[in-house]
Amino acid sequence: MFKKAGIIGLGLIGGSLAKALRNRCGVKEIVACNRNIDVLEMAQSEGVIDAYSTDVTDIFCGCDIVIICTPVGKIFEYAEKLTKYIDKDCIITDVGSTKLTIYENMKKIADKITYIGGHPMTGSERFRYSSSKEHLFENAYYILTPSENVSDEKVLKLKSMVEKIGAIPVIISPKEHDYVTASISHVPHVLAAGLVNTVKNLDSEKGYMHLLAAGGFRDTTRIASSSPDMWESICLENRDNIIDVLTSFEEVIKNAKSVIKNGDSNEIHSFFENAKTYRDSFSTATPKSYVRRYEIAVDVLDKPGSIAIIAVLLSSNNINIKNMGILNSRDKEEGVLYFAFDTEEQRQKSIELLRSMNYEVNEK
């Protein structure tokens, strides 16, 4: 596979890739570049990386692969810097959420590098190294967009790496990638941020909207907590596709406003029925999930010790609780305690265990 790997940008994705490369691909030497030296020191102390720098230096010499995990607007800049230290046989890839602009820029240095665009369809609103984990890519689609001058051998080598870290490789063109991700990722982030800002602007001094926001609002807007720097870069890089999709969305909202204003019962029902049918065709327990979340809600009495009993029960059965919380609104929720787990296997194990103890569990 790869003997020496380099990572540029040691956040959630970069950190998770470093851990997966070490533990699942058997990479013996991993070097990393990051602006925050505290993160680099932490990763080295954990044995995730072997050497580091705060900029691209000769530590990248001899790398078989370098993965650039920075905002998309910085990817080509780092690729240019790498040409001083790597040979053409080294694979340069990235994890950027847009591809066509990067692909066009990489043509300028095509005689010096082997570039294969990459985009793991996973992540979370937590984007720092401290949230990174080896299994982040399990059962997630990992898109590859190889450039024209790359050999099949190199593509197969990167594809093999993607499979070893637990992901499912999909090979498509940069142009198609950008239109697809504008529809299913970029515009949803814009809409989530827009909905949060709308509620912020409409809320009164008493703050009831902020107080009562839960259930559907919380789930719909969760991704609005993602990195502003990353989404600024994505919107600028993929602006044409994002505008096209937003224009289509405007038409949908315009029609929805019209049928609601006219009190057209049949059309209102069709609006929600069509969305429900299509949305229900997605399965949260398959690789089609964009962000992996393994959650349950448990219905319990509000009394001292309720949370502790469940926590001890799960931990004593070697089930790790990734996150937990109290649901203050039962709007569309069947349970008062929320739990999230690392894997679908642990989620299913917790469901079976809790139900065997007569707890009412909603699989969310």
CATH 3.40.50.720, the chain: domain bounds: 4-172
> Quick one: pLDDT at residue 327?
62
pLDDT digits (tens, 9 = 90+) for 282-303: 754 444 444 456 888 888 776 7
> Where in the chain is CATH 1.10.3660.10?
177-280
Q: Considering the domain delimited by 177-280, tell me its CATH architecture.
A: Orthogonal Bundle (1.10)
Note the pLDDT of residue 287: 43
Average pLDDT, the chain: 88
For every residue of 154-183, DSSP letters joined together read HHHHHHHHHHHTT-EEEE--HHHHHHHHII
Half-sphere exposure of 73 (CA within 13 A, CB side): 11
Residue 328's identity, in one-letter code, is: N
Looking at domain 4-172, does it have CATH number 3.40.50.720? Answer: yes
- pLDDT at res. 124: 55
Residue-wise pLDDT tens digits, 17-61: 999 999 999 999 999 999 999 999 999 999 999 999 999 999 999
Domain 294-362 has CATH 3.40.50.720: no
Q: What is the mean pLDDT of residues 225-242?
A: 88
Phi, psi of 261 (to 5 degrees): -60, -40
Question: What is the secondary structure of 73-110 as a DSSP string?
Answer: HHHHHHHHHHTTT--TTSEEEE--S--HHHHHHHGGGT
At 47 the pLDDT is 95
Looking at residue 215, its pLDDT comes to 67
Q: What is the DSSP string of 325-342?
A: EE-S--TT-S-SEEEEES
Give the residue range(s) of CATH 3.30.70.260 domains in the chain.
294-362
